[in-house]
C-alpha cells in the first residue's frame, strides 16, 4: 500500500507511478486523511510505502506525526521514498528511529530528485527544466519499485558530515526560524476562487472578504502559493518572478478537465 503526502504534486506523482508499477497497489492520500482530523486504521498485506517530500533534510514532521497516530495492521515492512530538490541528508536515520518507535520493520529510505518547489526561500527551476528533471526521475522510481516487489531493502546511502548536521541540529532550527506563514500575502491578482483554502492540507487558510487569511499553522508545503491559478500569492519579496511548480492532481484540477491549476 502506497501512502503519500504532497504539497505541489511531486510526491503524488512518484506514489502513483510506484503503485502502478507494484501491480496496481492501493494509493492513500495523507493530505486528505489529515483534513478529516480522524486517526486511520490501515489493513495491508503488502509492504507499507511512504512517499513524501524532504523538508529540512528529513521526512516532514506532519508525516512523522501521521504515521505515529495511524494504526497499521498486517504487514510491518515500511519503505520510505523522499522526493527532494537535491538531497535528503541523513533522513534515513530518523525514519529508522520512527519505525522502531512504531514497531515497523525499516526497509530503507531512498531519495528521488524531483523539481525544487521551495519558492518561498529558494530559486526554482523553469517549467522546461522541471519536465526534464521528472523524466530523469522515472527510471529511479522503476528501480525502487523493483526492489520493493522483490522484498529487498533499499541500499543504505552514504551520508556526509554536513548531511548529519542538516538532518540533526539544523532541522529543528530551520523549522523554528523559517517554517511559518507570516510572509504570505495575496495580491490584487486574487480572483477569490478559494482553491488555496481548499488545498491547504492543514486547513490553515480561511477566506475572509474574498481573500485568503493564513492562521498560523503552516508546514510550508507550498500548495497555496504554487497552486494559485492566477499566481496571486507571494512570500515576502522572495517568491517574485519564480516559477511556481505545481503538478498536483486533485478534485479542483479535475473540474478543469484534469488540466492546470
Ligand X SMILES: Cc1cc2nc3c(=O)[nH]c(=O)nc-3n(C[C@H](O)[C@H](O)[C@H](O)COP(=O)(O)O)c2cc1C
Backbone angles phi, psi at 157, to 5 degrees: -75, 150
Return the residue of 25, 116, 181, 250 that touches ligand SF4, per CB under 6 A. Answer: 181
- In angstroms, give the least distance from the CB of 235 to ligand SF4: 9
Among the residue ranges 30-38, 140-148, 153-161, 183-191, the one whose residues contact ligand SF4 (CB under 6 A): 183-191
Q: Which is nearer to ligand X, 137 or 190 (CB)?
A: 137
Return the residue of 100, 123, 192, 254 that touches ligand SF4, per CB under 6 A. Answer: 192
Q: Which three cell numbers stand for residue 155?
A: 541500499
Q: Which residues contact 220 (CB under 8 A, 6 or more apart)?
A: 55, 118, 120, 178, 179, 180, 181
195 binds ligand SF4 (CB under 6 A): yes
Among the residue ranges 113-121, 127-135, 144-152, 191-199, the one whose residues contact ligand X (CB under 6 A): 113-121
Burial of 129 (0-12, 13-18, 19+ CB in 10 A): middle
220 binds ligand X (CB under 6 A): yes
User: Which ranges of the chain does DSSP label H, i.e. alpha helix?
Assistant: 10-21, 30-36, 61-69, 91-102, 127-149, 161-165, 171-178, 195-199, 223-227, 251-255
234 binds ligand SF4 (CB under 6 A): no
Q: Which is nearer to ligand SF4, 163 or 183 (CB)?
A: 183
Amino acid at each position: 500500500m502506497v501512502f503519500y503526502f504532497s504539497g505541489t504534486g511531486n510526491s503524488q506523482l512518484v506514489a502513483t507511478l510506484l503503485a502502478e508499477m507494484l501491480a496496481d497497489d492501493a494509493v492513500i492520500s495523507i493530505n486528505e486523511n489529515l483534513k478529516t482530523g480522524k486517526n486511520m486504521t490501515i489493513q495491508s498485506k503488502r509492504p507499507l510505502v511512504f512517499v513524501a517530500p524532504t523538508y529540512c533534510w528529513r521526512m516532514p514532521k506532519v508525516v512523522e506525526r501521521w504515521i505515529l497516530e495511524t494504526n497499521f495492521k498486517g504487514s510491518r515492512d515500511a519503505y520510505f521514498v523522499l522526493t527532494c530538490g537535491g538531497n535528503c541528508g541523513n533522513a534515513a536515520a530518523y525514519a529508522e528511529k520512527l519505525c522502531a518507535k512504531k514497531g515497523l520493520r525499516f526497509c530503507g529510505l531512498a531519495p528521488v530528485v524531483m523539481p525544487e518547489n521551495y519558492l518561498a526561500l529558494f530559486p526554482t527551476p523553469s517549467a522546461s527544466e522541471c519536465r526534464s528533471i521528472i523524466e530523469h526521475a522515472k527510471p529511479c522510481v522503476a528501480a525502487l519499485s523493483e526492489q520493493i516487489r522483490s522484498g529487498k531493502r533499499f541500499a543504505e546511502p552514504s551520508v556526509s558530515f554536513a548531511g548529519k548536521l542538516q538532518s540533526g541540529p539544523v532541522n529543528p532550527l530551520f523549522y523554528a526560524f523559517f517554517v511559518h506563514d507570516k510572509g504570505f500575502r495575496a495580491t490584487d491578482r486574487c480572483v477569490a476562487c478559494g482553491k488555496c483554502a481548499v488545498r491547504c492540507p492543514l486547513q490553515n487558510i480561511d477566506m475572509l472578504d474574498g481573500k485568503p487569511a493564513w492562521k498560523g499553522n503552516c508546514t510550508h508545503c507550498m500548495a497555496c502559493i504554487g497552486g494559485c491559478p492566477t499566481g496571486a500569492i507571494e512570500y515576502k519579496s522572495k517568491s517574485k518572478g519564480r516559477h511556481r511548480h505545481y503538478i498536483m492532481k486533485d478534485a479542483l484540477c479535475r473540474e478543469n478537465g484534469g488540466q492546470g491549476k
